[in-house]
Structure 1
Amino acid sequence: MDRLGSAMNDRLSGLADLDQRSREIFRQLVESYLETGAPVGSRTISKSLPMTLSPASIRNVMADLESTGLIFSPHTSAGRLPTELGLRFFVDGLLEIGDLSEGDRSAIETRVAGSNRRSLEDVLTEATQMLSGLSHCAGVVVAPKINMRIKHIEFVALEPGRALVILVSEDGTVENRVMTVPPGLPPAALTAAANFLNVRFQHKTLDEIQNAVGQEIETLKRELDELTATVVEQGIASWAGAEPEEKTLIVRGRGHLIENVDALDDLERIRMLLDDLETKKDMIRLLGLAEEGQGVKIFIGSENKLFSLSGSSLIVAPYHNAEQHIVGALGVIGPTRINYARIVPMVDYTARLLSRLLS
């Protein structure tokens, strides 16, 4: 555990001594914030408390909560908002998680398990899209590296002696590699190499293309001129020699993250989050933390450096294969005022359903 996490745990352990009245006021404040996103004042809390307290008494309790670091007062408002420490305290100790609604359960089962047709890639993509739609956040899945089927290959000249190989998979994924080409290579050779591969190997996996090209070198040289054959051979070799990634990342629903964003500073944080989602290695590493144990994990804001600037939360759970080995994780990313009570069981149920499908 890093020093930030250790320090936070130390502070949380000291909050266990809060009396029942303080806990209830804090709960009402956080629940109101999660619902509205607005600072919460004492009068708002007094209307929803199960006990009778004056606004003045509530303000005194809120002052104590502020001194412990659970809430703070924005300079533009007399109300209070929970801090990241406060959200962690709420999630770990006060959050009441109910069962999934029948509508959510039915939607998950229909979308994820409702067809016998599909490959693992199809199921994972559907699960990601489904979580995004139900949560109105970004859905994310990290999975074993999928050997994608190629829809289109293109070569683009960069500078003398270098070209870019662009692979477009059937699911729309685009991956690039820079390759070395003979000096003075005419553009027609790049076009001919791409045409040859697209006609001969469309809908094949990269492994299948590599094996076929390796076995058909002599045929390749008879059908194509020497320079074009060299482009084909070296272009595919550039992928064969690349260090393979053990995991792949699927993200769906980025557009949900910019819905209902009014303030410019909020929009800037969302832009930073969208940049975070493009940092695949860091995101895969973060989701990989969910593979270190059972059940749902929740990361809030700066608890993880990837979200330290964007102020986001990640709710994630691992899923298993037939041997009960954890092979990946799935979840949602959204603002820190995400609906934890609804989304935690949604992520948990989807992960357990996916594990059953893989068994």
Structure 2
Amino acid sequence: MGMPDYELKTPTMDDFSYRPGIYQNDVDGNAILTIFSNYGILFPEGDTENPLFYFRHLNVDSVRWAGIIKLGKGFDAPQNSAHHRDIAQAGDRVNPYGKLSEKPLVYGMRGIDKPFEIAYHEDGSVTGKEGENGSILNVKCTPFPYALFTHKTSIMRAPIWLQTAISVEGTYEGKPVVGLGCHDRTFIAENATQDSLWAAGCTIYCCANYSGIREDGRKESFFAQLDVANKEKGIVFYYLEGEEPIVTDKVTLETEWYHLPYAPNDPTCVYKDATWRFADKEIHFHAKWGAKGFTEKPRMEKLGYSHCFGEWYEGKTPYKHIYENTFTENMEAIDKRIKEAGYVVHD
């Protein structure tokens, strides 16, 4: 029996290393860490109507980009900047990813020119600081059970593992903040370059990474990635506290697409309402906020790139989450290609 395309498990500290054992095989090319990210929705002082979104995107030895944005009001609205120029960006010096401490064992990265710290601890928690002594953001993140590990043979087309849901608690600009988020890390074969990742990408990519705390206190999370042009080709992970998790590679997305009103000559599209179907489950999503990237200004140069955020539930009967994260990302979502895949695009 060959290697599975994906695995579900609780991460160990070896998984946080530069060369984790799970990817030391011929299929994954004895893979090494190349990119890692931490991101999530933030509700300053519990305000769920005016959320922020944090994203720090890193190479093992440099910053790719980072930002804290104010989400646009409306599913097709652009973001506004909360913090960009005052936090570490590409070109700012860092200490490369590695061990921050031996006892206890902690992996992570720290900024030099503009202070930040991302740290992964033995108990599975992640701590994050932005600004001097965490003056901008200072949080502790606690993982939901399970992380999704994919191999190069999966729809992800690379060895990637994702902690798809973490609860967030701490301070933002010195005031209490709560939220939900996730972190992920991408690996490449030891003799490859990052260019191999982009060459292996999907034709039209839709990613949904949702989590929430139900009103009865149960944790719930859903992750899906779909190659839209190939319809059901994808991957899904669903977890509800107290039930067995579901992982499958059969998933469909039902939705209609819209152009971005602030980009009249841009073929990029985004959706407002969607239903994901897999196994015997259905996930319903409704977008309330929008963005085009997590940079200071919308990434207009990146065609087909869009984001939306809002609320979600599983099943036929709507319900509320106390807090919820609905990271929704689309790549290559260009009107002509979406129509060719059989979807409605509203002009």
Quickly name the TM-score band, shorter chain normalised: under 0.3
| TM-score, normalised relative to structure 2 | 0.23
| TM-score, normalised relative to structure 1 | 0.23
User: Rg bigger for which structure?
Assistant: 1
More helix by share: 1
